[in-house]
Amino acid sequence: MQEIYSIMSFMHNKIQQSQDQRFQFEISDIQRTMTAYLIPAVENYVQLPDFLREKVVNQLQLTPSQLLEQQLELIINELKNIAESIYLNDLNKLIDQGVFLKQKLQ
């Protein structure tokens, strides 16, 4: 979660520094996507009783802990790619990665 926070902070700073409204919009859209996904996912996990967090309960044969860990790993990897695109000011790549992230989190 610290790594996600760090990248999200970088994105926030870039929005503040950028004069390109399209770039600002795309970064903000990615942040909204992340917030809309992460908050409920973590809240749902935290609300699970401890004994259910390590019990296989789905068709994927994963525990809720494993599933959340797998999802967070995917998010971190994608956020790193997004941060690289932001750093390189590559709007087209940023747009593509934002669309990909939305599709993966739905």
Tens-place pLDDT, residues 19-62: 889 999 999 999 999 999 999 999 999 999 988 899 997 777 88
Spell out a b/e string for 18-31, using b for 16 or more CB atoms within 10 Å of the CB, else e: eeeeebeebbebbe
Task: Kindly tell me if the per-residue pLDDT of 106 is higher than 80.
Answer: no
How sure is the predictor about 92, in pLDDT bands with cuts at 50, 70 and 90? very high
Two structure tokens written together for 80: 């790193």
Q: What is the dihedral of CA 47, 70, 36, 52, to 10 degrees?
A: -10
